[in-house]
Amino acid sequence: MTRKTTRVVPKIFAALLVAVLIHWGCNRSMPAADNRLQLTRTVVMSGLSDPWDLAFAPDGAMLFTEKCRGLSVRTPDGAIRLLFGTAGAVLAADDFFCQGQSGMLGVALDPAFDENRLVYVYMASNIGRAKTNRVVRLEVERDYAVVSGRKDIVTDIPFKQSLNRWGGAGAHSGGRIRFSPFDGYLYVTTGDNHNGPLPQDLSRLGGKILRVDRDGNAAPGNQTPAGGDPRIYTYGHRNVQGIAFHPVTGRPFASEHGPGHDDEVTPLAAGGNGGWDPAPAKGVSCPADYCGYTSNKPDGTPTPMTDLDRFPDALKPSWNNRGVSEGMSPCVFLTGPHWKGWEGWLAVGFLRGARIELLQMDAAGMTIRTAVVADLPEERMRSLVPGPDGALYVAIDAGDIWRLENAAQ
């Protein structure tokens, strides 16, 4: 009996130890059960046509873009007015058009909007021989009844002119525009147009993040590599859909579509290379000279979103969506004490992935923990913008604008 007990006790102890280790391991590798942010959702508007972006004025007005229609406002009294774009707008734009992923995309208000009434949009234009994406500045009267003073401040952002093996015209245009509350300059995200050499070509503005002043001139401190267009802040990007500024450090972060692998969130630095280079290496051939969905290397490995072999000093991503691509779209930091334990997390929207994910970062900007916004309808999340009331506003492709409020308040 004694001998039997001495054999059993170590076995029980070993089994308990294994159970404890498995439990500890699971807790370390799997999201905790509370890793979900519960928010209260209200539908603010519905029936819109491909809403793409939002901006709030100090008076409470909400400006919003619809890709094929233009820029509109919902005034504080609830009236809705088409301000700029298609026929019937307060200011019509004959050159405005939509095609593929392009049209009336980002919108931003000047940091001094209350005084100067300047609004900026990113739109497709057919002025001139080749179609372009451009940043257009407008002046909107205080009653939103008059729009004037159109000035196209960045006129030479490349546009994919025609269909090729990889997709239709108007693909990969980028299109988010945001003023940094830290340096006051306008950041403009662009796309690679399914064009192999474009992201690493420092003479052209596709596959870049630009940083300009309110007249479209290069901002000081861009540190563009010698000989490059001085408006370029970072280069080597694929199709940047979101840009946000860390609430403490002011550092800009970009969110970017991957090509079937590796959607990326990347902390940026002036003059940095995002490491995307879909041009074929010597001896490699790709349809339409674009290797974005295949391999740019002789060894046949997929073209990486951040190619540290070609560019050892490339900007390192903070997060790569677990090696998959789900149409990562906008991003914004949650700011303000009402977000409680979630204050300072980055909210990231997904199109095909149809969710809002939350990233917690360390001091270096690397993601250390993720969570999701719980119980949202599975919709394509196109725009995430904080409102003046502290809530998070969301535009979805299906035509709604939602207001999300922290239920734990």
**Residues within the interface to Ca ion (CB under 5 A):** 274-275, 305-306
Q: Which is nearer to Ca ion, 110 or 307 (CB)?
A: 307
The token pair at 225 is 């590599």
CA–CA distance, 406 with 392 (Å, rounded to integer): 9
Helix, coil or strand: residue 53: strand
Exposed e or buried b per residue across 73-83, where buried means at least 16 C-beta atoms within 10 angstroms of its C-beta: bbbeeeeebbb
User: How far apart are alpha carbons 402 and 393 in whole angstroms?
Assistant: 6
Q: Rg of the Cα trace of the chain?
A: 23
Cα–Cα distance for residue pair 268/255, rounded to 1 Å = 11
> Nearest distance from residue 299's CB to Ca ion, in Å?
20
Rank residues 83 and 305 by Cβ distance to Ca ion and give the closer one: 305
Nearest residue to the partner Ca ion, using Cβ: 306
Residue 233 CB, nearest approach to Ca ion (Å): 14
149, 119 Cβ separation under 8 angstroms: no
Q: Residue 314 has what DSSP assignment?
A: P
Least distance to Ca ion, CB of residue 275, Å:
4
Give the nearest distance from C-beta 307 to Ca ion in angstroms.
Answer: 8
DSSP state of 24: H
Q: What is the DSSP string of 224-287?
A: PPTTS-TTEEEB--SBEEEEEE-TTT--EEEEE--SSS--EEEE--TT-B-----SPPTT---G
| Min CB(234)–Ca ion separation in Å | 10
- Non-local (6+) Cβ contacts of 153 within 8 A are 120, 135, 136, 137, 212, 214, 215, 216
Residue 135 or 244: the one with the smaller Cβ distance to Ca ion is 244
> CB of residue 17 vs Ca ion: minimum separation in angstroms?
43
Indicate the residue among 85 and 275 with the shorter CB distance to Ca ion.
275
Q: Which of 103/275 has CB closer to Ca ion? A: 275
Based on CB atoms, which residue is closest to Ca ion, 271 or 387?
271
Nearer to Ca ion, 110 or 192 (CB): 192
Tell me the backbone φ, ψ of residue 266, rounded to 5 degrees.
Answer: -130, 125
CB of 366 to Ca ion, least distance (A): 14
CB of 256 to Ca ion, least distance (A): 7
Nearer to Ca ion, 193 or 320 (CB): 320
Closest CA to 96 of 65, 117, 74: 65
Assess contact for 128 and 146: CB atoms under 8 A: no
| Residue 275 or 349 with smaller CB distance to Ca ion | 275
Q: Smallest gap, in angstroms, from Cβ of residue 112 to Ca ion?
A: 33
